[in-house]
Amino acid sequence: MEKKLPPILEIRGLQISFKQYEKGFSQTELEVIRDLDVCVPAGEIVAVVGSSGSGKSLLAHAVLGILPYNASVKGEILYDGEALTEKRVKRLRGDEIVLVPQSTAYLDPLMKTGVQIRKGKKDAASKERLHQIFREYELKQEVEEQYPFELSGGMTRRIMNATALMGHPRLVIADEPTPGLHISVTRRAMEHFRELADMGAGVLLITHDLELAVETADRIAVFYAGSTLEEVPALAFQSCDTLHHPYSRALWNAMPKHGFQPIPGTQPYAREMPQGCPFGPRCPKYTQECSEKIPWRQTGDGRVRCIHAEEAQ
Amino acid sequence: MILQAKNVSFQYKENAPLVLQNISFEVKEGERVGLRGKSGIGKTTLCRLLAGYEKPHSGEVLLDGRPVTEYRGYCPVQMVWQHPEQAVNPRRRMYTVLEEGDGIPQEMTAKLGIEEAWKQRFPAELSGGELQRFCIARALGKRTRILLADEISTMLDLITQSQIWTFLLEEAKRRNLGMVVVSHSDDLLDRICTRIVEIG
Amino acid sequence: MKQWNRRKATVLILVISILFLVTVAAAGSQCSDAARATDFSRKNLLPCLEYPFGTDWMGRDMFARTLKGLSLSILIGVLAAAISAVIALVLGICAATLGRRADGVITWVIDLIMGIPHMLLLILISVAAGRGLKGVIIGVAFTHWTSLARLIRAEVMQLKESPYVKIAGKLGKGKWYVAYRHILPHLLPQFAVGLVLMFPHAILHEASITFLGFGLTSEQPAIGIILSESMKYLVLGKWWLALFPGLALVVTVIMFYLLGENLRRLIDPNSAHE
């Protein structure tokens, strides 16, 4: 297994901060994503798993260049081995790079759904493809002629998934594509992502749902309070012993089927981020060194950002 | 107390398709009932009906034999919503959320992992999981007898999820609360509920 | 952080415009006599050091007249806009809370008023109300509330449906609690901005109808009167009679507009953190 081609998407040391006013006149930079690394090779599904408020949706927005006006970005975003500049992303998005968004408010309320999904294309092939996708997503034919407000939440979501999959994208970014969907439809969507990956696309799946990620993804990046803490093959989540970071292990233990055991504490808010390892204050293995910058460390088929990882094995 | 839905049907507008059709369902104090069903089948709508936020198009929702929408003042049936960001006023500080509840003791907020400093903040300065803890505390006032939980932990990470459910389970047992739990996770329902109902 | 940022700029503009407006209003009310004093020994003077805006054909000091006119305009503008905003607030809230029928009637009135040409209605009301200061204030007040009322109606309707308001109801909180604790905090900023942005309109419209002869009587040195009188002398080459009062009016209006626009940017979440 030699990897000669550069990965479709590689993100190194991504930082996103927001300029905000405090009380009165002073402005501060609120750092929401502090240190995010993720790599999406062609033909693979990579899941970024993190809880709400960890800033993971911003990752999708940063790649697509649609962050709000008061955000600033540092770090590298490489697409096909080259920096993804604002100009380049404008040319590529919607075509080579597609987003399956989180909010159902992304559909144009004044356009019939069928037209939106075909992106205005009227040729026979597009129409045929549309029908095929509708069948796969259990959507009725008449939905094509309906406007978004006539659809239920679950239907809207299925349509957004369908929209992304119409063309032949090389990079699919799915931001929480399935909440509120029934398990069978969720599976169908995931199969679809798999098909796209098999055709050579890279899929970046951003989700809070660890179980879903373990089931569908090839690799999983564990994301916590603005940093990636561990990156492992999805198989590593089969057992607690193949996980290295204490946070990943805590996640594993908290799965309902593994005992549903909580650890105390909460993810720190961006304004009170501890120095060094963000998990430090909740970590049983916390030592003085954890408050310094934590380097990546290779662990077999993955990597982890924890200086106590070896003891954890 | 007993909360019953009798042959309830519901539509959002006249001539709109029925969201719920002839549903009957009941929950007593001390019971934890899981609701399972396909997406779009109307689980959220059923919760809103049970909590008295909507009136059924036909059929009735009764709390101890009286329509739940007729209860004035504090309603013994309280619901926790799926999206905590929408359930708190963005312009008011978090302690006001607790004040709005019915005598929320400090021990409860402590057990829920709510830190004192959070109470002085605005909603935008807290994460979804932190906000949801406030919403849960608010719904668990002294006079609450039945709690409806509509996918309250879907958007939260697993650790927060298990913290919240561990607390809720203990609280429900201690106070003999009735509970209706909607979740897409069968593992979760199996863990929490005394009984599971399939709708649709 | 000592950086220059939008909030500081906004507050600076706010202070400058308020200072300007207050000064003009105060100075104007002090020179009522000077504005009326005629002195034929100094008629038709070009702007000079002693009379920065020149004098007119009756030897009246144009600077004093302009100041007096502006202060009248500001007074009328503030009063009329305040009345208008209160009407908007009351009707907007009524439309949103008193049920479908009240909403229908109020929305109909709003559409009606918006459908009639603004100036026409303004003139009609102000003439019917007896012209003069009272007529103008009533006219302006009754024609300017519509869009703010619509805004408030929409805002209240949306708030009424928001989950936190519904939850408060189930927690046994009464209507007044909800109105005071939940609705008002959202309404106040909108209301303030709407009010301030109404000032420039009110002032311009006051000047317009006075200029057309339906507003203040010609004894009062209102800007509209000054401008309409100066018209006759423009062809005689007395340009300063219209230029300076006209400019002063424009500056006043711009000041109010800046004030409102900056307030709005501070409050609007889409630009609050710039």
User: What is the per-residue pLDDT across A248-296, written as a single tens digit (0 to 9) for each?
Assistant: 988 888 888 887 888 888 777 777 788 888 888 888 888 888 888 888 8
Confidence of residue A120 (pLDDT cuts 50, 70, 90): low
Kindly state whether residue A3 falls inside one of the protein's structural domains.
no
Higher pLDDT pick, A165 / C246: C246
Q: Are the Cβ atoms of C170 and B73 closer than 8 angstroms? A: no
- Answer whether C171 touches B (CB < 8 Å): yes
Across the beta sheet with B77-80, what order do the strands follow?
B77-80, B146-150, B178-182, B32-36, B195-198
Residue C227 CA to residue C223 CA, distance in Å, equals: 6
Could you tell me if B89 and C164 are in contact, meaning their C-beta atoms sit under 8 angstroms apart?
Answer: yes
Identify the residue among B126, B134, B152, B158 best suited for mutation to test binding to A, counting A beta carbons within 10 A and taking the highest: B158
**pLDDT attached to residue A310:** 63
Higher pLDDT pick, B21 / A120: B21
Q: Are residues A160 and A179 in the same domain?
A: no
Query: Which of A118, A139, A166 is a domain's end point?
Result: A166
Q: Are the Cβ atoms of B138 and C171 closer than 8 angstroms? A: yes
- Residue numbers of A between 211 and 230 with CB closer than 8 Å to B: 211
Confidence of residue A98 (pLDDT cuts 50, 70, 90): confident
Q: Are residues A177 and A252 in the same domain?
A: yes
Give the chain A residue whose CA is nearest to the CA of C10.
A25
Query: Which of A149, A166, A183 is a domain's end point?
Result: A166
Q: For residue A250, give how far its alpha carbon lies from the nearest alpha carbon of chain B (Å).
A: 7
Q: Are residues A85 and A178 in the same domain?
A: yes
Q: Are residues A183 and A206 in the same domain?
A: yes
Q: Which domain holds residue A174?
A: 9-96+168-278+293-312
Q: Which of A107-121, B49-63, C35-49 has the lowest mean pLDDT?
A: A107-121
Sign of the C-alpha dihedral computed for residues B157, B162, B165 and B171 taken in this order = negative
Kindly state whether residue A38 falls inside one of the protein's structural domains.
yes
Residue B188 CA to residue B186 CA, distance in Å, equals: 5
Q: Which of B129, B154, B184 sits opposite A266 (nearest CB)?
A: B129
DSSP class per residue in B51-101 = TTSS--SEEEEEETTEEGGG--SB-SEEEE-S-GGGSS-TTS-HHHHHHHS
Q: Are residues A85 and A18 in the same domain?
A: yes
Q: Are the Cβ atoms of C274 and A26 closer than 8 angstroms? A: no
Kindly state whether residue A219 falls inside one of the protein's structural domains.
yes
**pLDDT attached to residue A191:** 84
Chains linked to B by 3 or more Cβ pairs within 8 Å: A, C
Per residue in C108-162, pLDDT (tens digit) is 999 999 999 888 999 999 999 888 888 989 999 999 999 999 999 999 999 988 9
Q: Are residues A69 and A187 in the same domain?
A: yes
Please give the structure tokens belonging to residue B6.
């009798």
Residue B189 CA to residue B154 CA, distance in Å, equals: 13
Residue C108 CA to residue C95 CA, distance in Å, equals: 11
Residue range B76-88: mean pLDDT, rounded: 90
Please report, for the domain that includes residue A21, its CATH number: 3.40.50.300
Q: Are residues A300 and A239 in the same domain?
A: yes
Confidence of residue C272 (pLDDT cuts 50, 70, 90): low
Q: For residue C11, give how far its alpha carbon lies from the nearest alpha carbon of chain A (Å).
A: 10
Q: Are residues A185 and A217 in the same domain?
A: yes
Give the chain C residue whose CA is nearest to the CA of B87.
C164
Q: Which of A19, A25, A26 sits opposite C273 (nearest CB)?
A: A19
Kindly state whether residue A223 falls inside one of the protein's structural domains.
yes
Q: For residue A18, give how far its alpha carbon lies from the nearest alpha carbon of chain C (Å).
A: 9
C1 has pLDDT over 90: no
Cβ-in-10-Å burial (0-12, 13-18, 19+) of B86 comes to middle
Per residue in A19-78, pLDDT (tens digit) is 777 666 677 777 888 888 889 998 899 999 887 666 777 888 888 888 877 788 888 898
Q: Indicate the angle between helix axes C62-97 and C146-161, nearest 10 degrees.
A: 30
Give the chain B residue whose CA is nearest to the CA of A209.
B157
**pLDDT attached to residue C111:** 93
Residue range B156-173: mean pLDDT, rounded: 88
- Please provide residue A139's backbone torsions phi and psi, each rounded to the nearest 5 degrees: -105, 140
Q: Which of A152, A182, A267 sits opposite B127 (nearest CB)?
A: A267
**pLDDT attached to residue C273:** 67
Kindly state whether residue A247 falls inside one of the protein's structural domains.
yes
Kindly state whether residue A272 falls inside one of the protein's structural domains.
yes
Q: Are the Cβ atoms of A27 and C1 closer than 8 angstroms? A: yes
C-alpha distances out from residue C128 to A51, C122, C142, C224, Å = 66, 10, 12, 20
Q: Are residues A135 and A216 in the same domain?
A: no
Chains linked to A by 3 or more Cβ pairs within 8 Å: B, C
Taking the C-alpha atoms of A89, A94, A98 and A101 in order, what is their torsion angle to the nearest 10 degrees? 110
Q: Are residues A186 and A301 in the same domain?
A: yes
Tell me the average pLDDT of chain B: 88
**pLDDT attached to residue A282:** 87
Q: Are residues A70 and A152 in the same domain?
A: no
- Please provide residue C205's backbone torsions phi and psi, each rounded to the nearest 5 degrees: -70, -35
**pLDDT attached to residue A4:** 57
Q: What is the DSSP letter of A143?
A: G
Please give the structure tokens belonging to residue B181.
């739990």
Indicate the number of domains in chain A: 2
Kindly state whether residue A283 falls inside one of the protein's structural domains.
no
Query: Which of A141, A166, A191 is a domain's end point?
Result: A166
Is the full-model pTM beyond 0.80?
no
Residue contacts between B and C (CB atoms, under 8 Å): 47
Q: For residue A33, give how far its alpha carbon lies from the nearest alpha carbon of chain C (Å).
A: 18
Residue A202 CA to residue A193 CA, distance in Å, equals: 9
Q: Are the Cβ atoms of C182 and B92 closer than 8 angstroms? A: yes
- CATH class, range C2-32+59-271: mainly alpha
Q: Are residues A263 and A125 in the same domain?
A: no
Q: For residue C155, give how far its alpha carbon lies from the nearest alpha carbon of chain A (Å).
A: 20
**pLDDT attached to residue B40:** 66
| Cross-strand pairs, A78 | A10, A83
- Answer whether C167 touches B (CB < 8 Å): yes
**pLDDT attached to residue B173:** 94
Q: What is the DSSP letter of A8?
A: S
How big is the CA angle at C265 (ends C264 and C266), to the nearest 5 degrees? 90
**pLDDT attached to residue B183:** 86
Sign of the C-alpha dihedral computed for residues A241, A244, A245 and A248 taken in this order = negative
Nearest residue to B155 via CA among A51, A57, A204: A51
Confidence of residue A312 (pLDDT cuts 50, 70, 90): very low
Q: Are the Cβ atoms of C1 and A70 closer than 8 angstroms? A: no
Please give the structure tokens belonging to residue B1.
């107390």
Residue B170 CA to residue B185 CA, distance in Å, equals: 20
